[in-house]
Amino acid sequence: MPDGSAPESPAGQVAVVRRDGAIVVTYAVLVAITVVAWAQVVSSAMTPDPMHGMFMAPTIRDGVAYVASWTVMMAAMMLPSALPMIGLYAATQRSPGSPAGRILSVALFTLVYLGVWAATGVPMYFASALLAASDTVALGYGIAAVLVGAGLFQISPLKQTCLRHCLSPLGFFLGHWRAGWRGSLAMGWAHATYCLGCCWALMAVLVVAGAMGLASVLLISLAVAAEKLLPGGAWTARGVGIALVLLGLAVALRPDLAMALRAGAHSM
């Protein structure tokens, strides 16, 4: 392969990956974004919401504000577990003659990943509005159904399939490698869809049961990170699933527990 030519496959590149300046900068930027996002999440959680608990018909303005807050929260929650994947992708972009192209590729990969998670804020907004319009009994049974459904998904084969792609960044790139900026978009999309397939149920629990309160955000962030970053992530996912099913059954028997779960929380 001539010097400076575009990489065709990550296999040979990964074997010679070194911690060069571009990779360090990539990690530094992502960590900085994560810290800023978490600061915003904590600040929002500490600010009383006078409209919390009141039903208001969905509006475009409220929807945009909700999705913006949701995007910040997704950056805070999902970027830490995505760092190994994005860092490895930056390491495979070894075209010393084109630093701008390398930066663009990594930026596109990351932006597509965050964009997919941002888009999930739209259905989450309508789900949140629907819950606010529900009476206590309907709310309790609805939350119970979401908890049990999310728990069953956590122990399902589909969850394990999506999680395997997230657990093995090298395996993901070997199976999905595409060169060029179009490749960055395609791989960013593929990784985002696997990650969404892996974690959507936990995000539904966050909105429905936790009402996006700070304690719920922290707990689910830790669950996501443990599944993706720690050894035995598949068993962590199953353990979380069993806990959710048991909690859902308890709420089904005692619908008033739903209000206890949501007490003190408000939409970020």
- For 16-46, write each residue's pLDDT tens digit: 444 456 677 788 888 999 999 999 888 887 7
Q: What is the Cα–Cα distance from 206 to 70, expressed in whole angstroms?
A: 11
Cα(126)–Cα(67) distance, rounded to whole angstroms?
Answer: 11
Query: What type of residue sits at position 214?
Result: L
* pLDDT tier, 1 (very low <50, low <70, confident <90, very high otherwise): very low
Please give the share of the chain, as a percent, with pLDDT higher than 90. 43
Q: How many Cα atoms sit within 13 Å of 129 on the Cβ side?
A: 15
Residue 268 counted as domain residue: no
Print burial letters for 25-50: b (CB count within 10 Å at least 16), e (below 16): ebeeebeebbeebbebbeebbeeeee
Tokens of 32: 């900085």
Q: How many domains does the chain have?
A: 1
Q: Is 4 within the bounds of a domain?
A: no
Minimum mean pLDDT range among 128-137, 185-194, 217-226, 257-266: 257-266
Predicted confidence (pLDDT) at residue 166 exceeds the cutoff of 50: yes
Tokens of 262: 């949501």
Percentage of the chain surpassing pLDDT 70?
A: 82
Mean pLDDT (whole number) for 197-217: 87
Q: Does a structural domain hold residue 3?
A: no
Is 148 within the bounds of a domain?
Answer: yes
- pTM for the predicted model, two decimal places: 0.81
Record the tokens describing residue 59, joined without a space.
């509006």
Measured torsion, CA atoms of residues 131, 34, 37, 119, in degrees rounded to the nearest 10:
-50
DSSP code at position 85: H
| Residue 128 predicted with pLDDT over 90 | no
Nearest to 186 by CA among 161, 117, 120, 194: 194
Quickly count: other Cβ atoms within 10 Å of residue 200's Cβ: 18
Q: Is residue 230 part of a domain?
A: yes
pLDDT band at 194 (very low <50, low <70, confident <90, very high): very high
**Cα 197 from chain centre:** 10
For 100-119, the pLDDT digits (tens) are 677 888 899 999 999 999 99
- Mean pLDDT value across residues 187-198: 94
Tell whether the model's pLDDT for residue 73 goes beyond 80: yes
Instruction: Reply yes or no on whether the pLDDT at 120 is more than 80.
Output: yes
Q: Apex CA 233: angle with CA 123 and CA 75, to 5°?
A: 40
User: Is 104 contained in some domain?
Assistant: yes
Is residue 224 in a domain? yes
Q: What's the domain range around 122? A: 10-49+56-262
Return the residue matching tokens 């443990």.
226
Averaged pLDDT for residues 168-197? 89
pLDDT, greater one: 152 or 139: 152
Could you tell me if residue 178 is inside a domain?
Answer: yes
